[in-house]
Structure 1
Amino acid sequence: MAGKTIDATVIRDRVEGDWKRILDVLARKIALKAVSAEGITGEHMRRSAEFVAEELAKVGVETKVVQSSNPDGTPGAWEVVGSRTVDPAAPTVLLYAHHDVQPVPDPSAWDTDPWTATEIDGRLYGRGSADDGGGLAIHSGALKALGDDLKVNVKVFIEGEEEMGSPSFIPFIEAHRDEFDSDVIIVADSGNWADSIPSLTTSLRGNTGVDVTVKVLDHPVHSGQYGGPILDANTLAAMLIASMYDGSGDLAIPGVKADEPIGGLQCDLDEAQVRADASIVPGYRLAGTGSLASRLWTKPSVTVIGFDAQPVEGSFNVIDNEATFRLSLRTAPTQRPEEAQKALADFLVAHAPFGAQVTVVPSDNGMGWAMDPDAEATKDALEAMEEAFGVPPINQGQGGSIPFIPELRRLFPKAQVLVTGPEDPKSNAHSPNESVGLFGLKHNVIAEALLLAKLGAGRA
């Protein structure tokens, strides 16, 4: 350390003393129902942003609510930006979270009211409790715990459209570069190995997609008259989809790359736990080879997320002339998504079954991300986590994508990015009965406060 940091016991005591306030902030945030899918420009989203700005102002951050603009110039999301400068010569840390939440399509699928924070057996239930109200609570609690002992300059960006794919994120940052330029970026929108075991997120897969149409006839024909030599388009589409995999269930598409876990694999995932968490039916054998962690975090995967076909109800004896399906490709963290997309499209056209016509229409791309395991900020974060939780962190990748993180790295290449967060395997983010573990949340607050203290001691 280049300087003396505040004692961990002091931080812990301050968080304990502030715990009731932290939970109250999270409970009031849940009650705001900040569902961006119901309109990112809506009054409910503006109220959510204003609430966040007010709460951050209470812990020393000068904040403002700004409405972004979409790439086409139309009004965008309500964003919260702010800063606190303690010393122009000190390192600057950007704290990120998002204030929008997922919808609740079926409240009856919940065991509690999704819009009322409810504590049960050490967990707080409610939509947004983990994703990403917990991230807001971490930032608020950490800043309050440090108070006048904060030794880094802080900037905050609390996004209002993360659950909608962040369409105005990059234009907004490019228009407000000075409000984002920083030495370290902490993204509190991920999770931990368990409620009691912290993690840094080491990598995120990228994502891309294509719409594929398989055509065999100019129009449908009678299945009794022509069935046999002419296969229907749905069957041909199924053959084409199956051709992407080898006998072990690994993707076998030349040019679509695979990575191993970034920074090495400290602990593989428990298959029984994964099967239980994903509600896998008995007898299903997990596809692919290699560690389960690499298959979920750093190897590519393709999912058929849509298929246009005649419904069973109302079906009749014809050979369908064409079928369209949509593929979502999760790419290895270090592969450019457009490269993987082209490889996938080329493969599908080249493997058209029985010479059927295959047309591929590309969709949007999102780059993956890989942590720098040797960065000083990474080392500080791991130390802070172990001090806070009392156990060594188990780092983990994530199979999902947060495309704005690589975009932040592109715009601010000197910044060290750390991905943390409040979630754990029981959080059910995006699903019914979303919750955050209170032990983990409290210790994540302590860990972030300790991390900011370490960065302020001169190791940023």
Structure 2
Amino acid sequence: MSDDLRTAVRRLMPRAKADLAELVSYRSVADARQFPPEQCRKAAEWVAAAFSEAGLTDAGLHETEDGSTTVIARRPAPPGAPTVLLYCHYDVQPPVDDAAWHTPVWELTEKDGRWYGRGAADCKGNIVMHLTALRALGPDLPVGVTLVAEGSEEQGTGGLQAFVPKNTELLRADAVVVADTGNFEVGVPTFTETLRGGVNVVVTVSTLKGPVHSGSYGGAAPDALAALIHMLATLRDGSGNTTVRGLPRDQTWQGVDYPAEQFRRDAGVLDGVRITGDGSAADMVWARPALTVLGIDAPPVVGSAAAIQPTARARLNLRFPPGITPGTALDALTGHLEAAAPWGATAVVELEAAGSAFRSPAGGPARTAMSAALRDSYGREPIAQGNGGSIPLCNVLAETYPEAEIMLIGVEDPGSRIHAPNESVDPSEIERLALAEALFLRSFTLSR
């Protein structure tokens, strides 16, 4: 049954590579402070045109509240057939450090069997996967299909999240395929069943009216930077466990194991450096809260003076598993930081962003059909994993369409280095997932 689609997808792979090369060339970072907004607009227009050509002829660009553009392309379901919503996003992370890239950032480059370039995996590779699946099926789609491509996912400004509840009929579906995650490793088909929620805050510590000489006043004058360092140190214990007061810290992951050596390779942990935490790698990244210091405002080493700092700031990210709400996490982190401020220093915590954790339940006709499609494409049973990242849109979709099954898959793998320099995708993952999605779209019904 799958041979015709398998052949069609394989023949489409050169076109998929050309599609991805075109998409990667757009510097579609949704931050006008860093990149021209017209780059996002060009990417959106390309996506709309490509999916319209692939058969989703009801295509349009929709402006959202955060100023980004969402692409929506649709083809109605035949009578009695279900509708499937295919999600992806065309905006990307900034390069981070151009000098750290071994290939051109905005030019798809093949190297050692992988395709390199910003967005090659996250998430333009998933756009191409959707596109290849639809092209392999041809014009006679047995189900309704709606494609939604977000334009500001990486910035977390919530444009599409606000758009969905106000346009419920436009995106209504029986099943949702969120293609923004990845496989446990190359060649292992994987459902992502949980996503951690997250809150970002900026904490500002103040102790003096202004900087004072470290020789004249050091020893008695309260140093704001030292106070901040003390506060940050209380957020982890000696083993590296996150210790935010009021948050649980002993949950365990019940699904697939994440062997420590594999985690070390995937994360690039240096020889001799220990993995943090007293749980397994899976416990630490999928089942427990995790506090990360994203940045600190302090004088740089070069140009610093012999002065005690009156203020210091840090940007923090707290991730948390399902079962913890953003409000609970924010209250716990704020209370912890305020209580940890030494010497009577003032600590002001400002919320930047918040998103809920998500759990995708197993079971249901869509999951059954997708499992069979992945098994047929990959030649092995799919597994389930958690994901330490956050996709707040999943909760909005679940609340807006409570009857829809939501499944998370994607072309990323641990070697993709998403959000980092030298991002890449293994093209075999695009091919196998495109085949699986085509098989799913051809077989999915609500009558199982």
2:151 corresponds to 1:160: yes
Cα drift, residue 387 of structure 1:
1.5
Query: Following the alignment from structure 2 to structure 1, what is the Cα–Cα distance between the partners of residues 20 and 218?
Result: 61
2:314 corresponds to 1:320: no
Match of 1:423 in 2: 412
2:261 corresponds to 1:272: yes
Aligned residues between the structures: 447
Question: Could you tell me which of 25, 35, 52 is aligned with 2:19?
Answer: 25
Secondary structure of 2:350 counterpart: strand
Which segment is superposed worse, 111-120 or 401-410? 111-120
Query: Following the alignment from structure 1 to structure 2, what is the Cα–Cα distance between the partners of residues 372 and 259?
Result: 23
The TM-score normalised by the length of structure 1 is 0.89
Q: C-alpha deviations, 1:16-48, integer Å up to 9, x for none?
A: 233232222222222333333347983332222
| Matched-pair contact (CA < 8 Å) for 1:95–1:139 | yes
Cα drift, residue 427 of structure 1:
1.2
Question: Could you tell me which of 171, 185, 192 is aligned with 1:201?
Answer: 192
The AA in structure 2 aligned to 1:44 is Q
Question: Could you tell me which of 249, 253, 263 is aligned with 2:240?
Answer: 249
Which segment is superposed worse, 377-386 or 443-452? 377-386
Cα drift, residue 230 of structure 1:
4.7
- Describe how 1:84-123 pairs up with structure 2 within 5 A: 84-104=75-95, 106-123=97-114
Match of 2:48 in 1: 53
Q: C-alpha deviations, 1:255-291, integer Å up to 9, x for none?
A: 32458577x32222x3333333433333322221222
The AA in structure 2 aligned to 1:265 is G
Query: Following the alignment from structure 2 to structure 1, what is the Cα–Cα distance between the partners of residues 37 and 337?
Result: 42
Secondary structure of 1:64 counterpart: strand
Secondary structure of 1:409 counterpart: helix
Q: 1:348 to 1:173 in 2, by over 3 A?
A: same
2:3 corresponds to 1:13: no
Identical counterparts, % of pairs: 37
Match of 1:43 in 2: 38
Q: C-alpha deviations, 1:96-117, integer Å up to 9, x for none?
A: 1112223335544333333332
Secondary structure of 1:207 counterpart: strand
| Matched-pair contact (CA < 8 Å) for 1:97–1:187 | yes
- Structure 2 alignment gaps of length 5 or more: none
Match of 1:3 in 2: none
Match of 1:125 in 2: 116
The AA in structure 2 aligned to 1:416 is E
Secondary structure of 1:426 counterpart: helix
Q: 1:319 to 1:34 in 2, by over 3 A?
A: closer
Match of 2:331 in 1: 342
Which segment is superposed worse, 335-344 or 26-35? 26-35
The AA in structure 2 aligned to 1:292 is A
Query: Following the alignment from structure 2 to structure 1, what is the Cα–Cα distance between the partners of residues 268 and 385?
Result: 21
Query: Following the alignment from structure 2 to structure 1, what is the Cα–Cα distance between the partners of residues 140 and 403?
Result: 26
Cα drift, residue 444 of structure 1:
0.6
| Matched-pair contact (CA < 8 Å) for 2:208–2:222 | no
| Matched-pair contact (CA < 8 Å) for 2:184–2:414 | yes
Q: 1:408 to 1:220 in 2, by over 3 A?
A: same
Match of 2:173 in 1: 182
| Matched-pair contact (CA < 8 Å) for 1:37–1:102 | no
The TM-score normalised by the length of structure 2 is 0.91
The AA in structure 1 aligned to 2:16 is I
Secondary structure of 2:414 counterpart: coil
Cα drift, residue 341 of structure 1:
0.4
Secondary structure of 1:419 counterpart: strand
- Structure 1 alignment gaps of length 5 or more: 1-6
